[in-house]
Amino acid sequence: MGWSPDDLAFRDEVRDFLDRELTPELRRAGRLMTSVYTDHEASMAWQRILHARGWAAPSWPVEHGGCDWSLTQHYIFSRESTLAGAPSLSPMGIRMVAHAIIGYGTPEQKDYFLPRILTGEVFFCQGYSEPESGSDLASLSMAAVRDGDELVLDGSKIWTTHAGEANWMFCLVRTTRTERKQHGITFLLVDMTAPGITVRPLVMTSGEQIQNQVFFEQVRVPVDNVLGEIDDGWSVAKYLLVFERGGAAVAPALQVKAAALAEHATRQPGPGGRSLIDDPSFSSRLAEARIRADVLEVLEHRALDTLAAGGNPGPASSMLKILGTELSQRISELALEAAGPRGRVYQPHATAPGGPTVDYTPPPDDYLSGEEWQAVAPLFYLNNRAGSIYAGSNEIQRNILAKAVLGL
């Protein structure tokens, strides 16, 4: 699939915008990310710039603030943003719940939430997983009992990213118990300032405070905040999951990381007094990763071509999720190896994490042991372990492929 003259003109327009609007501070935030989440302030600053241009939510319908772009243009925008080092936006609002609101929301819900998601006035977190319900999400048990025009919530959610920053949560709750566990689940929009909500931060292995456990004790939520129908929230959740698993160009980010790693390896010592890039073992593994990133881009182009023709990639989305996350983990392993002893030093002050780092006092004068990339390598490695779990674990994706493709 090649780019048409119109596509190339659009690519040049995007590049000009990125060159003009991406400040050194924003590029630094993108470059020093330690997970899929950018520094919160940088992410919101970039969202305001994109919103002013009308590009904050290009995949939304035009009438709600989206762009009248072709699928190819969406891919080009995602790819060029990645190559330019733009910080990422939080996906919870713009890329996820907004689509559910557009698809299932009442006119009043659309009028209230969609403009405020675009401006950042409303910032969502996701309340899905529970301490005993992770991959088997349909087994969730957090209760929501109806009391007049309100639902009363009791229970907890866990692994809730940015619950400390969010002022709203989209949440799955149990409103009815039946033999079929997918039935009786309701999709609910919850004001995080409501009485009875307690957020308890969870410190990750990287030392960052991004995820949380959220406790609900007799929290009252208006029935008007139900998205879709009561007891039919599973349909809304499945609809939203389509947007969680797709819509972005993954391969360019991996290509950039692998190319940068190759450049770093030329300056790192390897066996026998040579540079690390001259070590056959390391260079062959890095070359394989770079080849796989190029293959992944071809597969993304094929999926895009299918969509552009009005088709459905189907199981290919599961394949792309597996390949992308496992390749990202592979590259992070190579980066940690290349960082050498400097990669064992805990230096979060030299990075731009997606949340605060607790129990850490930066050294005086921001002393740095090694280079920036060596400080990022161990933190990104630790965060990246979750890549094969989120948005449906890779084991589940393989089960989907086994059933849909192999007929097992």
Catalytic amino acids?
Answer: 244
Residue 370, classified by CB atoms within 10 Å of its CB into exposed (0-12), middle (13-18) or buried (19+), is middle
Which segments of 192-342 are extended strands (E)? 197-202, 211-222, 226-227
**Long-range pairs of 43-47 with CB within 8 A, sequence gap ≥ 24:** 43/87, 43/88, 43/89, 43/90, 44/120, 44/123, 46/86, 46/87, 46/89, 47/89, 47/94, 47/120
Smallest Cα–Cα separation from 396: which of 289, 328, 315, 342?
315
Q: Which DSSP helix (H) or strand (E) runs through 17? A: helix 5-21
Query: 150 and 222 in contact (C-beta within 8 Å)?
Result: yes
Report the greatest alpha carbon distance in the chain.
76
Query: 353 and 379 in contact (C-beta within 8 Å)?
Result: yes
Residue 239, classified by CB atoms within 10 Å of its CB into exposed (0-12), middle (13-18) or buried (19+), is middle
| Rounded Cα gap, residues 250 and 237, in angstroms | 23
Helix count (H) and strand count (E) of the chain?
Answer: 13, 8
